[in-house]
Amino acid sequence: MLRIYDVVIEAIGEMRPVISQIERRDGDLARQMRRAFSSVALNLAEGAGVRGGLRKARYETALGSMREVMACIDVARAFGYVCEVDAVTVAKMNRVVGALVKLVCR
């Protein structure tokens, strides 16, 4: 299993209060964020268990979903649903994006 899988799981736990805060103002956005975050973890796990083109496809999907999570945060901030998101958690998510970019571009 990739080391970034654990980072994703940590980030999901750390973002729970933020997602709850978003949900109070925009249930659809919160659901979208949960689905995207779940997709990151599930596609990382699936990609670790397959070979070849399927592996790359799963990692590409995880990358797209991680970027979607970050876009959800941007949208929530723009609408004023949340103010700041913990910088350490954002750094973790950026680390996941970086690692996935490297995996996809090999």
Average pLDDT, the chain: 95
How many residues are given for the chain? Answer: 106
For the chain, give every domain's residue range: 3-104
| DSSP letter (8 states) at residue 105 | T
CATH of 3-104, one of 1.20.1440.60, 3.30.70.360, 2.30.29.30, 3.30.565.10: 1.20.1440.60
Q: Is the pLDDT of residue 53 over 90?
A: no
Cα separation, 73 vs 3, whole angstroms? 24
- Contacts (Cβ under 8 Å, ≥6 apart) of 19: 30, 33, 34
Binned at pLDDT 50, 70 and 90, residue 51 comes out as: confident
Q: What is the pLDDT of residue 1?
A: 59
Q: Is pTM beyond 0.85 here?
A: yes
> Dihedral sign, CA of 70, 72, 73, 74?
positive
**Helices and strands, counts by H and E, the chain:** 4, 0
Least confident of 6-15, 45-54, 63-72: 45-54
